[in-house]
Chains A and B, each alone.
Chain A
Amino acid sequence: MISALIVRDARRAMSGGVWLPVAFFLLVATLVPFAVGPDAVLLGRIGGGALWIAALTAALLPIERLVESDRAAGFLDQLTLHGVAEESVAFAKIVAHWLTFAPLLLIAAVPGSVLLGMEGEALERSLVALAVGTPALAALAVVVAALTSGLPRAGSLAGLLMLPLAVPLLIFGASVSGVGGQGPLLLEAAISLILVAGAPFVAGAAIRAART
Protein backbone atom coordinates (compact mmCIF):
# COMPACT_ATOMS: atom_id res chain seq x y z
CA MET A 1 0.00 0.00 0.00
CA ILE A 2 2.89 2.37 0.79
CA SER A 3 4.44 1.97 -2.64
CA ALA A 4 1.03 2.31 -4.28
CA LEU A 5 0.55 5.53 -2.34
CA ILE A 6 3.95 6.87 -3.42
CA VAL A 7 3.16 6.10 -7.06
CA ARG A 8 -0.28 7.66 -6.72
CA ASP A 9 0.98 10.85 -5.07
CA ALA A 10 3.81 11.21 -7.58
CA ARG A 11 1.37 10.74 -10.45
CA ARG A 12 -0.96 13.38 -9.07
CA ALA A 13 1.92 15.81 -8.59
CA MET A 14 3.17 15.22 -12.15
CA SER A 15 -0.26 15.86 -13.61
CA GLY A 16 -0.75 19.15 -11.83
CA GLY A 17 1.61 22.06 -11.44
CA VAL A 18 4.91 20.26 -11.02
CA TRP A 19 6.64 23.06 -12.98
CA LEU A 20 5.27 25.86 -10.84
CA PRO A 21 7.79 25.69 -7.95
CA VAL A 22 10.63 25.36 -10.45
CA ALA A 23 9.48 28.36 -12.47
CA PHE A 24 9.09 30.32 -9.26
CA PHE A 25 12.58 29.30 -8.14
CA LEU A 26 14.10 30.52 -11.40
CA LEU A 27 12.09 33.72 -11.24
CA VAL A 28 13.34 34.58 -7.76
CA ALA A 29 16.91 33.75 -8.83
CA THR A 30 16.45 36.08 -11.80
CA LEU A 31 15.19 38.91 -9.61
CA VAL A 32 18.36 39.05 -7.51
CA PRO A 33 20.68 40.43 -10.23
CA PHE A 34 18.00 42.99 -11.11
CA ALA A 35 17.75 44.04 -7.48
CA VAL A 36 21.44 44.25 -6.54
CA GLY A 37 22.92 44.99 -9.95
CA PRO A 38 25.07 42.87 -12.28
CA ASP A 39 28.31 43.17 -10.27
CA ALA A 40 29.86 39.71 -10.67
CA VAL A 41 31.91 39.85 -7.47
CA LEU A 42 28.97 40.90 -5.32
CA LEU A 43 26.68 38.35 -6.97
CA GLY A 44 29.24 35.61 -6.45
CA ARG A 45 29.37 36.46 -2.75
CA ILE A 46 25.64 36.52 -2.10
CA GLY A 47 24.67 33.99 -4.80
CA GLY A 48 24.71 30.95 -2.52
CA GLY A 49 22.36 32.57 -0.03
CA ALA A 50 20.09 33.97 -2.73
CA LEU A 51 19.79 30.55 -4.32
CA TRP A 52 18.66 29.09 -1.00
CA ILE A 53 16.09 31.80 -0.45
CA ALA A 54 14.75 31.03 -3.91
CA ALA A 55 14.63 27.31 -3.10
CA LEU A 56 12.86 27.90 0.22
CA THR A 57 10.17 30.13 -1.25
CA ALA A 58 9.68 27.69 -4.12
CA ALA A 59 9.25 24.88 -1.59
CA LEU A 60 6.26 26.72 -0.11
CA LEU A 61 4.20 26.57 -3.28
CA PRO A 62 3.20 22.88 -3.34
CA ILE A 63 2.31 22.75 0.38
CA GLU A 64 -1.38 23.44 -0.10
CA ARG A 65 -2.01 20.43 -2.30
CA LEU A 66 0.09 17.94 -0.29
CA VAL A 67 -2.34 16.94 2.48
CA GLU A 68 -5.47 19.09 2.53
CA SER A 69 -7.17 17.67 -0.56
CA ASP A 70 -6.71 14.13 0.72
CA ARG A 71 -8.06 15.07 4.14
CA ALA A 72 -11.11 16.79 2.69
CA ALA A 73 -11.82 13.90 0.32
CA GLY A 74 -11.75 11.36 3.14
CA PHE A 75 -8.72 9.71 1.55
CA LEU A 76 -6.69 9.85 4.78
CA ASP A 77 -9.55 8.27 6.75
CA GLN A 78 -9.84 5.41 4.28
CA LEU A 79 -6.08 4.81 4.38
CA THR A 80 -6.28 4.49 8.16
CA LEU A 81 -9.20 2.07 7.87
CA HIS A 82 -7.15 0.05 5.39
CA GLY A 83 -4.53 -0.38 8.09
CA VAL A 84 -1.98 2.18 6.93
CA ALA A 85 -0.55 4.14 9.87
CA GLU A 86 -0.65 7.93 9.58
CA GLU A 87 3.14 7.95 9.94
CA SER A 88 3.46 5.67 6.92
CA VAL A 89 1.13 7.93 4.95
CA ALA A 90 3.32 10.90 5.85
CA PHE A 91 6.47 8.99 4.89
CA ALA A 92 4.97 8.07 1.51
CA LYS A 93 3.97 11.68 0.93
CA ILE A 94 7.50 12.88 1.73
CA VAL A 95 9.03 10.40 -0.69
CA ALA A 96 6.55 11.22 -3.45
CA HIS A 97 6.96 14.95 -2.93
CA TRP A 98 10.75 14.68 -2.97
CA LEU A 99 10.66 12.62 -6.19
CA THR A 100 8.60 15.23 -8.00
CA PHE A 101 10.26 18.31 -6.51
CA ALA A 102 13.97 17.69 -6.00
CA PRO A 103 15.16 16.51 -9.44
CA LEU A 104 13.45 19.41 -11.22
CA LEU A 105 14.78 21.89 -8.66
CA LEU A 106 18.31 20.56 -9.15
CA ILE A 107 18.01 20.90 -12.92
CA ALA A 108 16.73 24.44 -12.52
CA ALA A 109 19.54 25.18 -10.08
CA VAL A 110 22.05 24.94 -12.93
CA PRO A 111 20.76 28.00 -14.83
CA GLY A 112 19.80 29.54 -11.48
CA SER A 113 23.38 29.38 -10.21
CA VAL A 114 24.74 30.80 -13.45
CA LEU A 115 22.28 33.71 -13.22
CA LEU A 116 23.67 34.42 -9.76
CA GLY A 117 27.23 34.48 -11.00
CA MET A 118 28.20 31.04 -9.73
CA GLU A 119 30.06 28.89 -12.20
CA GLY A 120 32.48 26.01 -12.11
CA GLU A 121 33.28 24.98 -8.58
CA ALA A 122 30.67 27.29 -7.04
CA LEU A 123 27.98 25.73 -9.23
CA GLU A 124 29.08 22.28 -8.10
CA ARG A 125 28.94 23.34 -4.44
CA SER A 126 25.46 24.79 -4.72
CA LEU A 127 24.17 21.65 -6.45
CA VAL A 128 25.59 19.46 -3.67
CA ALA A 129 24.09 21.74 -1.02
CA LEU A 130 20.66 21.64 -2.64
CA ALA A 131 20.82 17.89 -3.23
CA VAL A 132 21.53 17.31 0.47
CA GLY A 133 18.91 19.83 1.55
CA THR A 134 15.96 18.84 -0.67
CA PRO A 135 14.89 15.78 1.40
CA ALA A 136 14.59 18.11 4.39
CA LEU A 137 12.62 20.65 2.34
CA ALA A 138 10.23 17.89 1.21
CA ALA A 139 9.86 16.62 4.79
CA LEU A 140 9.18 20.11 6.15
CA ALA A 141 6.64 20.78 3.42
CA VAL A 142 4.66 17.65 4.32
CA VAL A 143 4.84 18.42 8.05
CA VAL A 144 3.60 21.96 7.56
CA ALA A 145 0.93 20.77 5.11
CA ALA A 146 -0.33 18.31 7.71
CA LEU A 147 -0.21 20.87 10.52
CA THR A 148 -2.20 23.44 8.55
CA SER A 149 -4.66 21.14 6.78
CA GLY A 150 -8.25 22.03 7.50
CA LEU A 151 -7.38 25.51 8.76
CA PRO A 152 -8.60 28.69 7.12
CA ARG A 153 -5.89 30.67 5.30
CA ALA A 154 -3.66 27.59 5.45
CA GLY A 155 -1.51 28.90 2.61
CA SER A 156 -0.19 31.98 4.37
CA LEU A 157 0.01 30.19 7.70
CA ALA A 158 2.15 27.52 6.04
CA GLY A 159 4.73 30.11 5.04
CA LEU A 160 4.88 31.53 8.56
CA LEU A 161 5.38 28.05 9.97
CA MET A 162 7.81 26.61 7.48
CA LEU A 163 10.30 29.41 6.96
CA PRO A 164 11.46 29.64 10.62
CA LEU A 165 11.72 25.85 10.81
CA ALA A 166 13.98 25.92 7.77
CA VAL A 167 16.45 28.43 9.24
CA PRO A 168 19.07 25.87 10.42
CA LEU A 169 18.94 24.20 7.03
CA LEU A 170 19.27 27.59 5.34
CA ILE A 171 22.32 28.55 7.43
CA PHE A 172 24.34 25.46 6.64
CA GLY A 173 22.97 24.96 3.13
CA ALA A 174 23.89 28.51 2.17
CA SER A 175 27.34 28.19 3.68
CA VAL A 176 27.92 24.98 1.72
CA SER A 177 26.86 26.83 -1.43
CA GLY A 178 28.86 29.94 -0.64
CA VAL A 179 31.98 28.79 1.17
CA GLY A 180 32.04 25.03 0.83
CA GLY A 181 34.10 22.70 2.96
CA GLN A 182 33.35 19.50 4.76
CA GLY A 183 32.20 21.03 8.07
CA PRO A 184 29.13 22.88 6.81
CA LEU A 185 28.24 19.98 4.52
CA LEU A 186 28.25 17.50 7.40
CA LEU A 187 26.16 19.84 9.54
CA GLU A 188 23.69 20.40 6.69
CA ALA A 189 23.47 16.64 6.18
CA ALA A 190 22.88 16.13 9.91
CA ILE A 191 20.07 18.67 10.01
CA SER A 192 18.56 17.24 6.87
CA LEU A 193 18.64 13.78 8.44
CA ILE A 194 17.01 14.97 11.67
CA LEU A 195 14.19 16.70 9.78
CA VAL A 196 13.56 13.71 7.52
CA ALA A 197 13.63 11.25 10.42
CA GLY A 198 11.29 13.28 12.63
CA ALA A 199 8.88 14.49 9.97
CA PRO A 200 6.73 11.34 9.51
CA PHE A 201 5.95 11.27 13.24
CA VAL A 202 5.07 14.94 13.48
CA ALA A 203 3.00 14.85 10.29
CA GLY A 204 1.32 11.60 11.34
CA ALA A 205 0.29 13.05 14.68
CA ALA A 206 -0.94 16.19 12.93
CA ILE A 207 -3.10 14.13 10.56
CA ARG A 208 -4.67 12.35 13.55
CA ALA A 209 -5.20 15.60 15.41
CA ALA A 210 -6.92 17.21 12.41
CA ARG A 211 -9.72 14.61 12.44
CA THR A 212 -13.14 15.86 13.39
Chain B
Amino acid sequence: MTALLSFEQVSLRRGGRPLFERLDLALAAGGGLHLTGPNGAGKSSLIRLAAGLLRAERGKVMAGPLALADEHVALDRELPLGKALAFWGADAGMEAMGLGKLAGVPVRLLSTGQRKRATLARVAASGAPLWLLDEPLNGLDEDGIARLDALVAAHRKAGGAVLAASHRPLGGRWTEVRLGE
Protein backbone atom coordinates (compact mmCIF):
# COMPACT_ATOMS: atom_id res chain seq x y z
CA MET B 1 0.00 0.00 0.00
CA THR B 2 1.42 3.40 -0.92
CA ALA B 3 2.16 5.76 1.91
CA LEU B 4 0.31 9.07 2.01
CA LEU B 5 3.01 10.44 4.29
CA SER B 6 6.47 9.22 5.09
CA PHE B 7 9.38 10.54 7.14
CA GLU B 8 12.79 8.94 6.61
CA GLN B 9 15.48 9.68 9.17
CA VAL B 10 14.17 13.19 9.65
CA SER B 11 15.92 15.54 12.04
CA LEU B 12 14.77 18.99 13.00
CA ARG B 13 16.36 21.71 15.12
CA ARG B 14 14.52 24.81 16.26
CA GLY B 15 16.48 27.70 17.69
CA GLY B 16 19.60 25.57 18.00
CA ARG B 17 17.80 22.88 20.02
CA PRO B 18 17.21 19.46 18.48
CA LEU B 19 13.51 18.61 18.58
CA PHE B 20 13.81 15.13 17.16
CA GLU B 21 16.48 13.16 15.35
CA ARG B 22 16.32 10.37 12.81
CA LEU B 23 12.58 10.06 13.03
CA ASP B 24 10.81 7.53 10.82
CA LEU B 25 7.10 7.71 10.20
CA ALA B 26 4.79 6.13 7.66
CA LEU B 27 1.11 6.71 7.21
CA ALA B 28 -0.83 4.63 4.72
CA ALA B 29 -4.41 4.88 3.49
CA GLY B 30 -6.86 4.36 6.31
CA GLY B 31 -4.20 5.02 8.92
CA GLY B 32 -4.20 7.37 11.87
CA LEU B 33 -1.17 8.67 13.77
CA HIS B 34 -1.69 10.36 17.11
CA LEU B 35 1.23 12.61 18.08
CA THR B 36 1.66 13.10 21.78
CA GLY B 37 4.32 14.60 23.98
CA PRO B 38 4.89 17.47 26.37
CA ASN B 39 4.60 21.12 25.35
CA GLY B 40 7.51 22.10 23.14
CA ALA B 41 8.29 18.54 22.11
CA GLY B 42 7.89 19.46 18.45
CA LYS B 43 4.41 18.22 17.61
CA SER B 44 3.38 21.36 15.73
CA SER B 45 6.78 21.55 14.03
CA LEU B 46 6.40 17.96 12.88
CA ILE B 47 3.00 18.81 11.42
CA ARG B 48 4.41 21.85 9.65
CA LEU B 49 7.22 19.66 8.29
CA ALA B 50 4.64 17.21 6.97
CA ALA B 51 2.76 20.10 5.38
CA GLY B 52 5.93 21.27 3.63
CA LEU B 53 5.83 24.61 5.46
CA LEU B 54 9.13 23.86 7.19
CA ARG B 55 12.23 22.21 5.77
CA ALA B 56 13.86 19.31 7.58
CA GLU B 57 17.45 19.77 8.62
CA ARG B 58 18.21 16.22 7.49
CA GLY B 59 16.20 13.37 6.08
CA LYS B 60 13.36 13.09 3.63
CA VAL B 61 9.70 14.03 4.02
CA MET B 62 7.26 12.83 1.38
CA ALA B 63 3.60 13.76 1.38
CA GLY B 64 0.78 13.73 -1.14
CA PRO B 65 -2.03 16.28 -1.34
CA LEU B 66 -2.99 17.33 2.16
CA ALA B 67 -5.10 19.70 4.20
CA LEU B 68 -4.08 21.37 7.45
CA ALA B 69 -6.07 22.61 10.43
CA ASP B 70 -3.92 24.37 13.00
CA GLU B 71 -4.43 27.19 15.47
CA HIS B 72 -4.77 29.74 12.65
CA VAL B 73 -8.24 30.39 11.31
CA ALA B 74 -7.11 31.81 7.94
CA LEU B 75 -10.54 33.25 7.24
CA ASP B 76 -11.28 36.90 6.54
CA ARG B 77 -12.61 38.33 9.78
CA GLU B 78 -15.06 40.75 8.23
CA LEU B 79 -16.74 38.23 5.92
CA PRO B 80 -19.72 36.05 6.81
CA LEU B 81 -18.50 32.53 7.59
CA GLY B 82 -20.12 31.04 4.47
CA LYS B 83 -18.34 33.45 2.14
CA ALA B 84 -15.04 33.20 4.01
CA LEU B 85 -15.07 29.41 3.67
CA ALA B 86 -16.19 29.67 0.05
CA PHE B 87 -12.90 31.42 -0.76
CA TRP B 88 -11.24 28.08 -0.02
CA GLY B 89 -13.99 26.16 -1.79
CA ALA B 90 -14.93 24.71 1.58
CA ASP B 91 -18.46 25.96 2.24
CA ALA B 92 -19.66 22.38 1.70
CA GLY B 93 -17.96 21.34 4.94
CA MET B 94 -20.11 23.56 7.15
CA GLU B 95 -23.02 21.18 7.68
CA ALA B 96 -20.77 18.33 8.78
CA MET B 97 -19.31 20.48 11.57
CA GLY B 98 -22.71 21.86 12.57
CA LEU B 99 -22.05 25.36 11.25
CA GLY B 100 -25.01 25.55 8.89
CA LYS B 101 -26.84 28.18 10.92
CA LEU B 102 -23.76 30.41 11.17
CA ALA B 103 -23.24 30.94 7.42
CA GLY B 104 -24.28 34.58 7.67
CA VAL B 105 -22.35 35.46 10.82
CA PRO B 106 -19.10 37.42 10.37
CA VAL B 107 -16.00 35.40 11.28
CA ARG B 108 -14.89 37.99 13.84
CA LEU B 109 -18.00 37.31 15.94
CA LEU B 110 -17.43 33.56 16.15
CA SER B 111 -16.34 31.93 19.39
CA THR B 112 -13.10 29.98 19.76
CA GLY B 113 -14.92 26.68 19.37
CA GLN B 114 -16.85 27.88 16.33
CA ARG B 115 -13.62 29.01 14.68
CA LYS B 116 -12.10 25.64 15.40
CA ARG B 117 -15.08 24.00 13.77
CA ALA B 118 -14.60 26.26 10.74
CA THR B 119 -10.94 25.23 10.30
CA LEU B 120 -11.97 21.58 10.60
CA ALA B 121 -14.78 22.15 8.09
CA ARG B 122 -12.20 23.45 5.62
CA VAL B 123 -10.15 20.29 6.04
CA ALA B 124 -13.23 18.08 5.73
CA ALA B 125 -14.27 19.76 2.48
CA SER B 126 -10.77 19.82 1.00
CA GLY B 127 -10.95 16.42 -0.65
CA ALA B 128 -7.29 15.87 0.26
CA PRO B 129 -6.41 12.29 1.22
CA LEU B 130 -4.14 13.36 4.08
CA TRP B 131 -5.44 15.45 6.98
CA LEU B 132 -3.04 17.17 9.36
CA LEU B 133 -4.77 18.25 12.56
CA ASP B 134 -2.90 20.27 15.17
CA GLU B 135 -4.76 20.14 18.50
CA PRO B 136 -8.11 19.62 16.79
CA LEU B 137 -10.01 19.31 20.06
CA ASN B 138 -9.00 22.70 21.46
CA GLY B 139 -12.13 24.68 22.18
CA LEU B 140 -14.52 22.04 20.87
CA ASP B 141 -17.56 21.03 22.93
CA GLU B 142 -18.87 17.45 23.14
CA ASP B 143 -20.98 17.84 20.04
CA GLY B 144 -17.98 19.21 18.13
CA ILE B 145 -15.76 16.35 19.26
CA ALA B 146 -18.39 13.79 18.24
CA ARG B 147 -18.70 15.42 14.82
CA LEU B 148 -14.92 15.47 14.36
CA ASP B 149 -14.65 11.81 15.38
CA ALA B 150 -17.34 10.91 12.86
CA LEU B 151 -15.62 12.89 10.09
CA VAL B 152 -12.24 11.32 10.83
CA ALA B 153 -13.71 7.81 10.93
CA ALA B 154 -15.50 8.33 7.61
CA HIS B 155 -12.39 9.82 6.04
CA ARG B 156 -10.20 6.90 7.11
CA LYS B 157 -12.78 4.40 6.02
CA ALA B 158 -12.81 6.01 2.58
CA GLY B 159 -9.05 5.53 2.23
CA GLY B 160 -7.81 8.77 3.75
CA ALA B 161 -5.24 9.15 6.49
CA VAL B 162 -4.97 11.47 9.47
CA LEU B 163 -2.00 12.79 11.44
CA ALA B 164 -3.22 14.50 14.60
CA ALA B 165 -1.37 16.13 17.47
CA SER B 166 -3.43 16.23 20.62
CA HIS B 167 -3.01 16.15 24.37
CA ARG B 168 -6.43 14.62 24.73
CA PRO B 169 -7.50 11.15 23.61
CA LEU B 170 -9.04 10.93 20.16
CA GLY B 171 -11.94 8.69 19.17
CA GLY B 172 -11.22 5.55 17.19
CA ARG B 173 -8.01 3.53 16.89
CA TRP B 174 -4.75 5.39 16.52
CA THR B 175 -1.06 4.56 16.40
CA GLU B 176 0.57 6.69 19.03
CA VAL B 177 3.86 8.46 18.33
CA ARG B 178 5.33 10.06 21.43
CA LEU B 179 7.80 12.89 20.95
CA GLY B 180 10.21 14.42 23.41
CA GLU B 181 11.66 11.27 24.94
Contacts and interface: CB of A to CB of B under 8 A. Distances in A.
Interface of A: 4, 8, 12, 15, 72-75, 77-78, 80-82, 211
Nearest to B51: A81
Contact of B76 (A8, A72, A77, A80): A8
Chain B CB count within 10 A is highest, among A8, A72, A75, for A75
A79 to B, nearest CB: 9
24 contacts: A4-B87, A8-B76, A8-B87, A12-B76, A12-B78, A72-B72, A73-B72, A73-B74, A73-B77, A74-B70, A74-B71, A74-B72, A74-B73, A74-B74, A75-B72, A75-B74, A77-B68, A77-B74, A78-B68, A78-B72, A78-B74, A80-B53, A81-B53, A81-B67
Interface residues of B, number: 20
A80 B63 CA distance: 14
B88 A80 contact: no
Nearest to A82: B88
Nearest to B122: A78
A123 B130 CA distance: 59
Interface in B69-89: 70-78, 87-88
Nearest to B71: A74
B152 interface: no
A76 to B, nearest CB: 9
Contacts of B154: none
Given A75-B74, A78-B74, A78-B88, A211 B68 contact: no
B68 A81 contact: yes
B108 to A, nearest CB: 11
A182 B87 CA distance: 45
A82 B85 CA distance: 13
Contact of A77 (B53, B78, B87, B122): B53
Contacts of B52: 80-81
Contacts of A211: 48, 53-54
A73 B73 contact: yes
User: Most A CB atoms within 10 A — which of B51, B73, B76?
Assistant: B76
Nearest to A80: B53
Given A75-B74, A78-B122, A81-B51, 5 more contacts: A73-B72, A74-B70, A74-B73, A78-B72, A80-B52
Contacts of A80: 52-53
Contacts of A77: 51, 53, 68, 70, 72, 74
A176 B35 CA distance: 62
Nearest to A16: B78
Contacts of A4: 87
